[in-house]
Amino acid sequence: MHQLYIQGTENTPEVNFSPESGIFNIVGKSIPEDADAFYKPILEWFDEFAKLKVGAIHMRIELEFFNISSSKRILFLMYKLNDLVERGENVKVTWVYKESDDDMFEVGQDYSFMVSIPFEFSAIRTKAIA
C-alpha cells in the first residue's frame, strides 16, 4: 500500500502515514474551511489500510490548534485505530502538545478516555521570551 502524504498549509496539518514503517504523523494546525473534504481522503485511505494485516502503528499527533469540525474527524480516526486494537493489532498514540498549553493536553486526555488505545503524552518545552 502507498504512503499517504498531504503537505500542511496555514490551515491544514501535514499528514504523513507510512504503512511501511507504521509511523503516522499529523502535525500543524487543523482549521480547514471544510473539515469533511480535508479528512475524507485520510479516513478513506485508513479504511483501505485497515483491511491489511497492519502490524505495529504509532500515531503521532502534534496539533497546535484545531477547530470543532476537525476534532470530530480526529475522533473518527481514533475510533478506526480503536477497531484495530480490538482486533489485536499493536497501536499506540503519542499526543504532543506545548508544555504551556493545558487545553491541548486536556483534549488529548479526553480522546484517550474515549478509546482503548495506549496513549503517551509528550510535552514540548516552549522557550521563554526574554
Check residue 107 and give its pLDDT. Answer: 96
Mean pLDDT, the chain, rounded, equals: 94
DSSP notation for 48-73: HHHTS----EEEEEEEEEE-HHHHHH
Closest Cα to residue 26, out of 17, 35, 34?
17
> Residue ranges per domain, the chain?
4-124
Which one is predicted more confidently, 1 or 65? 65
**What are the φ and ψ backbone dihedral angles of 124, each rounded to 5 degrees?**
-100, 130
From the CA atom positions of the chain, what is the Rg in Å?
A: 14
Check residue 1 and give its pLDDT. Answer: 83
Check residue 7 and give its pLDDT. Answer: 98
Check residue 43 and give its pLDDT. Answer: 98
**What are the φ and ψ backbone dihedral angles of 122, each rounded to 5 degrees?**
-130, 115
The SS3 call for residue 97 is: strand
CATH architecture of the region 4-124: 2-Layer Sandwich (3.30)
Closest Cα to residue 19, out of 44, 54, 47, 60?
54
Q: Which grid cell is 9?
A: 498549509
Check residue 126 and give its pLDDT. Answer: 75
Residue whose entry in the numeric block shows the C-alpha cell 502535525:
27
Q: Are strands 14-18 and 57-66 parallel, antiparallel or unpaired?
A: unpaired
